[in-house]
Structure 1
Amino acid sequence: MTVVELLNKCGLVKPRVISYTRFSSRKQAKGLSEIRQVEAAKEWCDKHCLELSDHDQFKDLGVSAYSGANSTTGALAALQAKVAAGAIPRGTILIVEALDRLTRQSLPSAISLLMGLANSGLNVVTMTDPDKVWNSETMHDLGSFLMSVVTLYRGHQESAYKSDRLRKTFRKHRREGSQQAFGAAPGWLERESKVHPWTVVEERAEVVRKVFELAVAGLGSKAIAARANTEKWPIPTRLSKNDSIWHAQMPGQLLRNRSVLGEHQHRIRTHEANAQHWHGLAEGEPVKGYYPQIVSDELWAAARASVRGRFVHKRRDANFYNLWSGLMFCGHCGAPIHRKTEKKGYSKGQLQCSARLAGATKCPSMSAVNADFALLQAVYGHSHQDLADAQAVAKIDGIATLEAALADTEEQAQLAGDLVFKTGGKVPVFVNRSVRLAEEAEDLRRHIEELRALQLGDGGTGAFDEAWLETTMSFLYVADDVEALEARAALNLRLGRIVEAVWVYAYDCAFIKFRDEKLPLALPLPSKQLPSRANPQAKHHKPPPERVEKFKPIWAAHNDPAFELPEPKRPAARARKFSQLMVNLERVEEEDAEEVAAEL
C-alpha cells in the first residue's frame, strides 16, 4: 500500500501522526542525528498536509536497538504500551527514518516486533521509502513481507558485523597493551588524541586526593559529598548529568576506583555482558601503570582501612553524633543499639535497642550523655595512649591498613581459587594468580603479627591527659560545625580500631571488649535521674535532696560465673564486588587451555 492510497482511504478524516527517533550512542547526541530524523518527519507531514505535534514524538536517544533495550525499557516500549491500551488509535501513522531504527535484533525478534506494530493498527512509514506503508494489509503481500525480512536482516547483520569487528580490534589492542583503541579514561585525565599520552588535570586530581584524605580522617561518602557541594569542588568524574553537584555515592565510588593508582581493568561491554552487570564483565587482570597515578599507595591503603572499618554498618548518622556506631549492642538481647539524636534538652539523644524499635523486645533505653561520658572515661583510662599518643596511633593505623589489605587479598584469592577449581587447574594464568595471592596474603599476615608484637612490647610515651575527656565532651554534641564533625568522625574511627564491642544495660552497667583482649572491662553506669533545676541563687532556695544511687541488678550479678553476655547481632557484611575474569568456562577445552591463558 502506498501513502496516497492510505490517505485516499481515510478520506476527509486526517489520521494522527506520531514519530519515533533513535540513535545508539550518547556521542551521537553531539551530531545531527536527532535533528535530521525529526525534520524529515515534519517535512513528510508538510508534504501530505498532516500535522506532527511535539507530544507525539517518541525518542530513544543513546539506546541500542541491537540489544532490544528500546523495545523493552525505552520509548518504543512506551509507544507499544500506549497502542495496546488504546491511547494511540488504530490507523495512526508512525514515521521512522528506517526500519532499523525500530530494531536491529535477530530476525525472529525483529519480525515479531514489526508484525506486532502492524497488527496493532499502526501504519509504519520510513523515510528511506517515504511512499510505502507497512501495515497489516501490506504484510500479507509476499513481496512486501520478504522485503521487510531482507531489510531487517540487513540491519541486524550490519550491527553484528560491526560488533564482531570491534571485539577483534579491542582484543588485539588488549593483547598488545595498546591504549589507542580505548578512548575513555577517568575524568581527571585528558589527552589531545588517541596517539598522545594521558595527562593529569591537576585541579580535579587534587579534589580526588581530598576525598581520600577525608576518608582517612573518618568521614563517610555522604559527609564528603556534603562538604564538596558546600565548598563547590569541581566534579572529577568523566560522566555527570549535572556537572555542579556531587551525589552522595560519588566519593564512595572514587574510593573504590583503582584508576587513581594508575590501574586499568579491561571490560567486555557487549549488550550480553551489560545484561549480567551494568559495568560490563572484566577481562584479564588489572593492568598496572596504564594511567598516571594520582593517589599514593599509602594513602589508598589508609583510606581502604577507614572504609572497611565502616563496612559492616550503614552510616545513618551523617554528623557522627554516635561515636559507638557499629560497636554498641544491647546487653539484654545482643541487638545493635541505635541512637536517636536530640539537639535540645539534657540527654542529647536516646540509646535504643533496635529489637525494641522493631517491637520484638521491651529492652530499656538510656540517655546518650550519661553513657557517652562513662564509656569514654573508661576507654581513655584503659587505652589513653592508643587514643592520644602519636606513636601508638600510628602503629594501630598501620595494623588496620594491613588488615584491610589482607581482607581484600583473601577475597581475591578465594575468587582465583574458585576459577582454578572450575577449570580443573588447566589454565596456568588462574593457577599462578591463585598462588601469588596466597603468598601475598601470608606475607601480610606475618607483617601484621610483627606490628602487633611491637605494639604489645612498646608501652608508648604519651602521658595521661586529665583534660582529654573534657575536651572531647566539648565537641561531642556541637551541631553545624565542620571542625566538630571531623573530630567526632576521627574519634569514631579511632574507637573502632581499639574497641571490638560494647554491651550496654541501660542505667545499670556496661561491658567493653577491647581488641586483642579476652575479657571485657565492666563499669557501672549512672542511674536514671533528671538533672536538678534548682537555682542556688534564688531567694528561697532549698537544696535538693541528696541523690541515692539505685540498685543495679546486672552490676551486682556480673561477677557470677554463670553470667554471660549475649552474642552481638552484627549486621551482615555487605557483599564486596570484585572484578571477575571474563571466561566462558564451557568453551575451555583441554587443548585450548594454553590459548585461553595467552589471551587473558
Structure 2
Amino acid sequence: MTSTITVAAKEIPNLFQDDERPKAYSYVRFSTKRQAKGDSLQRQLDRSREYAAENNLHLQEKSFEDLGVSAFDRSNVTKGALAAFIRAVESGLIERGSFLLVENLDRLSRADLFDAMHLLDALVKLGIRVVTLADKRILDEESVKDQTSLIWAVMVFIRANEESATKSDRVKKAHQRKRDNGSTFAFGQGPGWLRPNANKTGWDVVPEKAESVVKVFELVASGIGSTAIARIANREGWPVPGKAKDWHKTLPHKLVHNRRVLGEFEPSIKDGKARRQTGDCWPDYYPRIVSLELFNAAQAAAERRRHLPKRRDAGYHNVFQGFLRCGHCGATLARKGKTSGRNSAGYALYVCADRDRGVTKCPNWNARELETKLIPPLMTSVSAEILKGSVKQNALEALDLERAALLQDTKSLQNLLHIVEQAGGSAALANRIRELDSAVEARKVHVMELSAVANDPVAAVWEDDVEQAIVDALGAVRDITDARMTERAELHESFTRVIRKLSVWAGSHAVLQLRHDDANVFIPLSEQAPLHMALKGGLSLPICASNDETAVFG
C-alpha cells in the first residue's frame, strides 16, 4: 500500500481555530493490507478522541495517517505523513506545545535504536508532547529528563526493532526456501505486462500489454529509438505496460533492457535502507513474451545507437546518419530540412558541420540529389551484407546477436563479481560465476568464427534482388511522410552495421569504408570525377592481395 497523508502542510493553517485548549494531532500507522481490512485505523482514531476528551485537548479534525507504510525501514519518516508533520512543526505551522497522539511508541518507529531515539529526540526538541495512548504516558522536554522514561523508551524501541527484524528474517527465509525449490509463486510486484493468477501460484500474461512490449523490441531492433517509439505508441494508443497513463520517452529504453521479458527473475534483498541484488537468476519464473533472438537483436541495435550522434530528425530521413562525412574537411555532413517558406516540404540540404560553424566554405548538397546518386552504388557495394537471406547478411545478423549475447553475459559476470566483492558469495553464486565465465569464453570463440564468415569476400547475390532493393530504398527515402519511417530506420540500421565511413566530395566522388573490409570503394558522382581526386586529403585506397595500391570502383 502507499502512504496516505491526510493533511498536507498547506492545509494545516485551516485547522487552527480560536480555541485556548492545547492542540492535539492524531498519528495513525500500520504496515500491511490485512490491517487495513480490520479495525486498526478506527481503533487508533477512537483512542485519540477519548484521550483528547479526557484531557481537555483540542483534537484536530484531520489526522496524519501512514496506512500500509513501514516504520522498520523509516519510510514513514522519510516520505510519509509523519515526515509531513515534522516539516510542519519545523516551519511553525504547528506550534510548540502541541500533542502528538500515537497508540504505541512503535507506531513512530521500528528502526534500529539509534534512528528511533533520534526521531523521538527531534520531536521533543521541537516542543512536541508525544503521548502513547496505550498507557497514557507523555514524553516531552521535562519528562525525558527522568532516566526512567528514557529507559522505558529505549526498551520499547529495542523490542519493536527486534520483532520487525525477526519477522523480516522469517519472511526472507520463507521466500528463499521457495526459491530453492524452484517455485513460481507470485510475490512482490511483477512487470507491468503480467498479473498474478487467481491463487497466486504464478503469473498470467496481459495480452494487450505484452503485445506493446513486443512491438517495442521489434522497432528497436529495426533501428528506431526510444523517443520515436514513445511518440508512435502514444499516437496509435498502445496499452502502457505499467501504471502510467501514456508512454514516456524513456519507457521503451527501460523495457528493452529488462530481462524479465525472457522470463528471468533476479531476487533482491533489503540491505538497510536500500535493496541489494543477490546475483541469483531464476529462469522461466515469469512467462516469456520475447524470444532470445529478438531480445539480442534489440540489444545489438541499441548498442550501435549508443555510439552514434544523437538523432535530430524524428522521421529518420537521414539514412546516412553517423557515418557521412565531408570529403573536403572531414567534418560531419548533417541533413537539414527546410522549415519555412513555399514548397518547404521535402526540401533539405546536406550541410558540412564546419561550414555551419563558419570555419570552412565547403559546399552543401541538395539532399534529394545526393541520396539519388549515393543509394544505388551503396546498395550495390554492400548488397551481400544487407540483402535479406544472403549468406553474408545471415552471418552478420548472427554475429550481431552473438556479440549482444557476449556483452550481456560479460555484464552479468562483472555484476556477480562485484556482488561477491561487496557482500561475499554462496556456493550457488560461485557455480553461476563459473557457468557465465565458460559461456563468455565460448561466445568469444563463436564470434571469431562468425566474423570469418562475415568477412568472406566471396558472396554472390542475385542482380534482380539488388535492383529491387535500390527501388525500395529510394522510394522510402523520397517519401517525406512517416508512412515509411520504419523502412528508413531499417535501411539506416543495415548501413550502420557494415559502413564505417562515407566521405563525399561535392560534385565529384565519394569514398566508402566498410567495417568488415580494409578496402575503400571509390564511387564517382559525376562524369568528371578523376581517380586522382580520391587521393586528396590523404585518403588511402584499398590494398589488394598483390600489395599494390589500387582503387575499387563502385
Secondary structure, aligned partner of 1:293: coil
Q: 1:389–1:460: 8 Å Cα contact kept in structure 2?
A: no
Q: Give me the TM-score of the superposition, normalised by structure 1.
A: 0.71
- What pairs up with 1:65-214 in 2 under 5 angstroms? 65-129=71-135, 131-180=136-185, 182=187, 184-186=189-191, 187-194=193-200, 196-214=201-219
Task: Tell me the amino acid that sits aligned with residue 517 of structure 1.
Answer: D
Q: How far off is 1:518 after superposition?
A: 1.9
Would you say 1:13 and 2:15 are equivalent positions?
no
Q: Given that residues 403 and 448 in structure 1 are in contact (C-alpha distance below 8 angstroms), is that contact kept between their aligned partners in structure 2?
A: no
Residue 559 (structure 1) aligned with residue 554 (structure 2): no
Counterpart amino acid of residue 451 in structure 1: V
Aligned 8 A contact 2:510 2:525 in 1 = yes
Matches of 2:236 and 2:22 in 1, distance apart? 56
Q: Is the CA contact 2:105–2:157 (under 8 Å) kept in the aligned structure 1?
A: yes
Q: 1:362-377 to 2 correspondence within 5 Å?
A: 366=364, 369=367, 371-377=370-376
Structure 1: distance between partners of 2:452 and 2:40? 64
Q: Distance in 2 between matches of 1:468 and 1:164?
A: 62
- Are residues 1:452 and 2:454 paired? yes
2:337–2:346 CA contact under 8 A, matched in 1: no
Are the equivalent residues in 1 in contact too, given 2:395–2:450 (CA < 8 A)? Answer: no
Which whole-Å CA distance do the structure 1 matches of 2:468 and 2:372 have between them?
Answer: 13
Aligned to 1:380: 379
TM-score between the two structures when normalised by the length of structure 2: 0.76
Q: How many angstroms apart in 1 are the aligned matches of 2:94 and 2:370?
A: 65
Shift of 1:501: 2.6
What are the equivalent positions in structure 2 for 1:237-316 lying under 5 Å apart? 237=242, 240=243, 242=244, 244-274=245-275, 280-284=276-280, 286-313=281-308, 314-316=310-312
User: Residue 186 of structure 2 contacts residue 196 of structure 2 at CA under 8 Å; is this kept in 1?
Assistant: no
- Summarize the Cα distance change of 1:443–1:106 in structure 2 as closer, same or farther, 3 Å threshold: same
- The alignment-based identity, stated in percent, is 31
- 1:347-392 deviations in whole A, cap 9, x for unaligned? 84565677898x7966868466155444434422422454455435
Structure 1 residues 86 and 398, CA gap change in structure 2 (3 angstroms): same
Give the Cα–Cα distance (whole angstroms) in 2 for the partners of residues 308 and 69 of structure 1. 37
1:197-235 CA distance string (max 9 Å, x none):
444444443333333233333322333333333333333
Q: In the alignment, is the contact (CA less than 8 A) between 1:410 and 1:441 conserved in 2? A: no
Deviations 1:20-43 (A, max 9, x none): 454546897788766766676567
Q: Name the CA distance, whole Å, in 1 between partners of 2:271 and 2:155.
A: 25
Distance 2:435 2:468 in 1: 52
Deviation at 1:505, TM superposition (A): 6.8
- Number of the residue aligned with 1:517: 517
Query: RMSD over aligned Cα, in angstroms?
Result: 4.4
Q: Distance in 1 between matches of 2:46 and 2:480?
A: 57
Measure, in 2, the Cα distance between the counterparts of 1:499 and 1:191: 49
- Distance in 1, matches of 2:421 and 2:91, equals 52
Query: Shift of residue 175 of structure 1?
Result: 2.5
Residue by residue over 1:123-146, the C-alpha shift from the partner in whole angstroms, topping out at 9 and shown as x without a partner, is 2234434x4432212212233222
Q: Structure 1 residues 499-508 or 294-303, which shifts more?
A: 499-508
- For the residues of structure 1 that align with 2:479 and 2:53, how far apart are their CA atoms? 68
Asked whether the 8 Å contact 1:65–1:71 carries over to 2, the reply is: yes
8 Å Cα contact 1:16-1:92 kept in structure 2: yes
Question: Which position in structure 2 is the counterpart of 1:569?
Answer: none
Tell me if the contact between 1:60 and 1:70 (Cα under 8 Å) persists in the aligned partners.
Answer: yes
Give distance in 1, aligned partners of 2:29 and 2:480: 51
Matched with 1:325 is 321
Residue 347 to residue 289, structure 1, CA distance change in 2 (3 Å)? closer
Aligned twin of 2:223: 218
User: Following the alignment from structure 1 to structure 2, what is the Cα–Cα distance between the partners of residues 28 and 350?
Assistant: 67
1:402 aligns with 2:393: no
- The range that moved more, 326-335 or 116-125, is 326-335
Which consecutive residues of structure 2, in runs of 5 or more, have no partner in the other structure? 1-17, 542-554
Deviations 1:253-292 (A, max 9, x none): 3322222322222222444442xxxxx41332x2223333
Helix, strand or coil at the partner of 2:535: coil
User: Does the CA-based 8 Å contact 1:225-1:246 persist in structure 2?
Assistant: yes
Q: CA deviation at 1:460?
A: 1.2
State whether residues 126 and 132 of structure 1, in contact with CA within 8 Å, keep that contact through their aligned partners in structure 2: yes
Partner Cα distance (2:348, 2:39) in 1: 59
Q: 1:260 to 1:162 in 2, by over 3 A?
A: same
In 1, the alpha carbon distance for the partners of 2:23 and 2:506 equals 72
CA contact (8 A) 1:347 1:368 kept: no
> Which of 39, 44, 52 is the matching residue for 2:60?
52
Deviation, structure 1 residue 71: 3.0
Q: Tell me which amino acid in the other structure corresponds to 1:476.
A: V
Q: 1:183 to 1:468 in 2, by over 3 A?
A: closer
